[in-house]
Amino acid sequence: MVRAAVLPAVGAPLRLADIELPEPGPGRVRVRLAAAGVCHSDLSLSDGTLRQPVPAVLGHEGAGTVVSAGEGVTRAAPGDPVLLNWAPSCGSCHFCADLAEPWLCESANAATTVPYARTHDGGELYPGLSTAAFAEETVVPERAVLPLPPGVPLTEAALLGCAMLTGYGAVHHSARVAPGESVAVFGAGGVGLAALQAARLAGAGPIVAVDVTEEKEELARAAGATDYLLAAESTAKEIRGLTGGYGADAAIECVGRAETIRTAWNSTRRGGRTTVVGIGGKEQRVSFSALEVFHFARTLSGCVYGNSDPARDVPVLAEHVREGRLDPGALVTGRIGLDGIPGAFEAMLAGRGGRTLVVFGDA
């Protein structure tokens, strides 16, 4: 039995419970978690914005140590430090093999719909985003673990699996920010702070952070923001004022709200690029006139998992961390146990803090 935070039904509060994990079968790995980040996607799964079979154990941004491995596993062995990959690509579908876009893999979340554990009374449990990291231990497919390069603290390493990879990828792979370009980042939560670090790494400037609370200014500036704005009707105009009257070359939207997406679009120059990272509900509608689409010649792009290939990009991120160019620990504004996750959800809803980290045991 291991302790876990269980979502009994969509919209219901999480409850702590002992769950029973099976020994890993062929091609599967059992991992003891060191830490798991509390991501807005977990909140979206819990409230039904994203679909998830229930009851489930949420959590997808995690790192830990391999406890045991099933028959045929070659990627990891007991004792290995690993990073969980919540969207493991299959390597053979149209998106993986033909388009080289593994972040859009057709079967990346196949494990989400298959029960992986049981409650103490024998009921089936599903793994949130395939990984179920809000538990002391989890069992995942072999392709859902990545060897963790040396030199990255195991607890902070958890953030490489979602916040850092998504923010870095949004800047480098989707928006393709070049040195000297101006960037506006909307939302200074975990992913937004990672995007600010990535923009600084890219040599961007100015880098404008936009959020709804004053308390995040210090975090944003430490991450790389040269300017900080409180969200208002005048935000787009203020960003133009900070960028020579033209608007930002690239805007990274990390909120997932229609009005924020629209403001991000408005804040870019003619020919500018808006990358939408935030996950909004289907009721969030954004509209544009045909004339402005023509006149401004801007682009608006969605961004899944930072348009990243974790097997390729995690070693790159680890090297940046080792060399001090990126700092996942700077995203963390709270460390909690499993019982603190509901409070972390409330903080996200209120727009407070950066990333909250669930820390297990002596990690």
Alpha-carbon separation of residue 24 from 66, 123, 137, 286 (angstroms): 11, 19, 12, 45
Q: What is the mean pLDDT of the chain?
A: 94
| pLDDT per residue as tens digits for the range 8-25 | 999 899 999 999 999 999
By CB atoms closer than 10 A (0-12, 13-18, 19+), residue 74 is exposed
pLDDT score, position 265:
97
* Higher per-residue confidence, 110 vs 274: 274
Phi, psi (5° rounding) for residue 112? -60, -30
| pLDDT per residue as tens digits for the range 332-357 | 999 999 999 999 999 888 888 889 99
Per cent of the chain over pLDDT 90 is: 88
How is residue 359 written in tokens? 């820390």
How is residue 123 written in tokens? 């009921």
On whether the pTM is more than 0.95, the answer is no
| pLDDT per residue as tens digits for the range 154-200 | 999 999 999 999 999 999 999 999 999 999 999 999 999 999 999 99
| DSSP assignment letter at 271 | E
| pLDDT per residue as tens digits for the range 237-296 | 999 999 999 999 999 999 999 999 999 999 999 999 999 999 888 899 999 999 999 999
- The yes-or-no verdict on residue 318 having pLDDT over 90 is yes
Phi, psi (5° rounding) for residue 66? -65, 130
Mean pLDDT score, 55-66: 95
Domains in the chain, CATH or no CATH each: 2-148+327-359 (3.90.180.10), 166-305 (3.40.50.720)
**106-128 core/surface letters (b: 16 or more CB in 10 A; e: else):** ebbbebbeeebbebeeeeebbbb
Pairwise CA distance, residues 161 & 61, whole Å = 5
CB 318 within 8 A of CB 293: no
What residues are paired with 147 via a beta bridge? 82
| pLDDT per residue as tens digits for the range 69-107 | 999 999 999 999 999 999 999 999 999 999 999 999 999
Pairwise CA distance, residues 11 & 309, whole Å = 32
Mean pLDDT score, 315-337: 94
pLDDT score, position 351:
83
Alpha-carbon separation of residue 341 from 70, 116, 270, 336 (angstroms): 31, 22, 42, 7
Pairwise CA distance, residues 156 & 352, whole Å = 20
- Count other Cβ atoms within 10 Å, centred on residue 90: 15
